[in-house]
Copies of this chain bind each other. A is one copy, B any other.
Amino acid sequence: MGFEPLNPDFEARTRDSFARQGIMATLGATLSRVEPGLVEIVLPFRPELAQQHGFFHAGVTATIGDSAGGYAAFTLFPAEATVLTVEYKINLLAPADGERLRALATVFKPGRTLTVCDVAVHVEKEGRERPCAKLLQTLMRLDGRPDGPAAA
């Protein structure tokens, strides 16, 4: 992709913002990759994250997919800006049955005001991954606000 970050400190800023998101600790999610225009979040399974069949709840899948996209956009922002999710669409492709979720978000179209991200969520079971969700997401850059993602 070859995105040029506006803020050389983008990785530290993204990791710092992620660390302040209480919900990520509650879920047990971690930030596995932070690159210009790309963020990956992984989440091990626990029964507290399940729906009634013992799979990851779709709300959990959506939450880490949304945050991965928000932070992917955020890596390309200037230092004094924050990110807001305008909207996303999520297709739930298969039951999220497995030991681990991995949400990989990439910026498809950066913009001064709006950024569009593409997010794929895979579920890993017995060492094999398969796609379980896909998001197409619109993010908004809010300048003059030093904080992290507002809606993520």
A residues touching B (Cβ–Cβ < 8 Å)?
17, 20-23, 26, 47-53, 57-60, 62-64, 66-67, 84-95, 108-109, 113-114, 116, 118, 131, 134, 136, 138, 140, 147-152
Contacts and interface: CB of A to CB of B under 8 A. Distances in A.
Contacts of A20: 52
A52 B91 contact: no
B92 A84 contact: yes
Nearest to A95: B150
A53 B59 CA distance: 20
B95 A86 contact: no
Contact of A152 (B51, B109, B147): B51
Contact of A23 (B59, B116, B136, B151): B59
Contacts of A57: 21, 23, 63, 152
B23 A53 contact: no
